[in-house]
Structure 1
Amino acid sequence: MANNLATLRNLLLLTLALLAGIVTAYILSPQSSPSGQPMFKTLGGNFTLQGVNGDVSLHDFKGKVVVIYIGYTHCPDVCPTSLAVISQAMKNLDANQREQIQPIFISVDPDRDTPEQLAEYSAFFHPSFIGVTGSREVIDQVVSQYGAFYRIVEMKDSAMGYAVDHSSRIYLINKQGELSNTVAHGAPPEQLVTEIKELL
């Protein structure tokens, strides 16, 4: 009897996990407009976070294409890889195109990532990067707005103390300040360049 209950419980947990994955995939997938172009009706929107020089709001960059990545500086692999893709994409564009683009790195680890640390870390990848963070409440709001997720994972046997599991997508904001598309982790810089050029 106990074994049967354990099996049923495991099946229920697996089903719930699969449903959560399906819902997340649906939310993050672009919806088609009548013209056939992808659009995000419910995701995105303005936010205000703190950079090394003070408040940074998305609407500050209307008229530019904004490339957003959400992560944290202590991330061992996923974040550096994605930021390197953005950096290479920027390098693959000409000077006039780069002037029309603003990359932003949002940290979900405000306890360790100060605006000063974020400025230094972001500049390592590209000088035009702006690193921002904020209170946990504001970060959670931004994460929710963009259909992202993160969770703190304790690491009792590590000097780091904790890690942060998080989604890994690059968000593309058009010149009107609207979320236009996302690029999945692992996509090559060439794909990002193509997506950016469509918004210039």
Structure 2
Amino acid sequence: MASNLTTLRNLLLLTLALLAGIVTAYILSPQSGSPGQPMLKTLGGDFTLQGVDGDVSLHDFKGKVVLIYFGYTHCPDVCPTSLAVISQAMKNLDPDQREQVQPIFISVDPDRDTPEKLAEYSAFFYPSIIGVTGSREKIDQTVSQYGAFYRIVDMKDSAMGYAVDHSSRIYLINKQGELSSTVAHGTPPEKLETEIKALL
């Protein structure tokens, strides 16, 4: 009897492991764990946040390819690296192609990132990047829509007071306003350039 129970338990564990593998393969694509098409169809959507010149909505850029990145201006390394990748990819495009692309930097740190600060910070990397923020509620809603995440990390012994851990992906929105693909942190600018051109 004990032997039969052990066998059944092992079969159950094996079945669960196989199911987990199937689900993971279904959700994730082969490239660096990017969300696969079935998952992408459930993500994305319109939003309205605040830029230095007023409201900024995704639908404002219908007919353009939109690049979205979630981060914050006090980020020590991850955000500057990703924004530099966006900047270089934009520079690699020819002028006509650049006109068809709109990068948006969404802050997950509204307590420190004002629209004015975001405008200055974003322009440092590339002139056409629009920095936006909003209420915590609106930011959380947008983060959730895109399957991103962030969390506040207290730093009591630091003058910063706190840091923000966050996901680091570039979200590519096609000209119809739909989430088309994501690019993982560390992807070279040339790869992002290729992804952008595929949507032009």
- TM-score, normalised to structure 2, is 0.83
Structure 2 stretches of 5 or more lacking a match?
A: 1-19, 29-33
Counterpart Cα distance in 2 of 1:131 and 1:31: 28
- Structure 1 segments of 4+ aligned residues over 6 angstroms from their partners: none
Alignment of 1:19-98 (within 5 A): 26=27, 29-31=35-37, 40-98=40-98
Q: CA-to-partner distance for each residue in 1:96-122, whole Å, 9 max, x for gaps?
A: 000000000000000000000000000
Q: How many residues align?
A: 173
Counterpart Cα distance in 2 of 1:127 and 1:85: 14
Tell me the residue number matched to 2:154. 154
Tell me the residue number matched to 1:6. none
Q: How far 1:26 sits from its partner (Å)?
A: 3.3
Q: How far 1:30 sits from its partner (Å)?
A: 1.7
What amino acid maps onto 2:122 in structure 1? Answer: S
Counterpart Cα distance in 1 of 2:156 and 2:125: 31
Tell me the residue number matched to 2:99. 99
Q: How far 1:92 sits from its partner (Å)?
A: 0.3
Q: CA-to-partner distance for each residue in 1:144-186, whole Å, 9 max, x for gaps?
A: 0000000000000000000000000000000000000000000
Counterpart Cα distance in 2 of 1:195 and 1:69: 15
Counterpart Cα distance in 2 of 1:31 and 1:44: 12
Counterpart Cα distance in 2 of 1:109 and 1:42: 25
Q: CA-to-partner distance for each residue in 1:13-56, whole Å, 9 max, x for gaps?
A: xxxxxx9xx97x93751226xxxxxx721100000000000000
What amino acid maps onto 2:108 in structure 1? Answer: V
Counterpart Cα distance in 1 of 2:99 and 2:63: 11
RMSD over aligned Cα atoms: 1.7
- TM-score, normalised to structure 1, is 0.83
Counterpart Cα distance in 2 of 1:170 and 1:76: 18
Q: Secondary structure at the match of 2:81?
A: helix
Q: How far 1:194 sits from its partner (Å)?
A: 0.3
Structure 1 stretches of 5 or more lacking a match?
A: 1-18, 33-38
Q: Secondary structure at the match of 2:199?
A: coil
What amino acid maps onto 2:27 in structure 1? Answer: Y
Q: CA-to-partner distance for each residue in 1:59-84, whole Å, 9 max, x for gaps?
A: 00000000010000000000000000
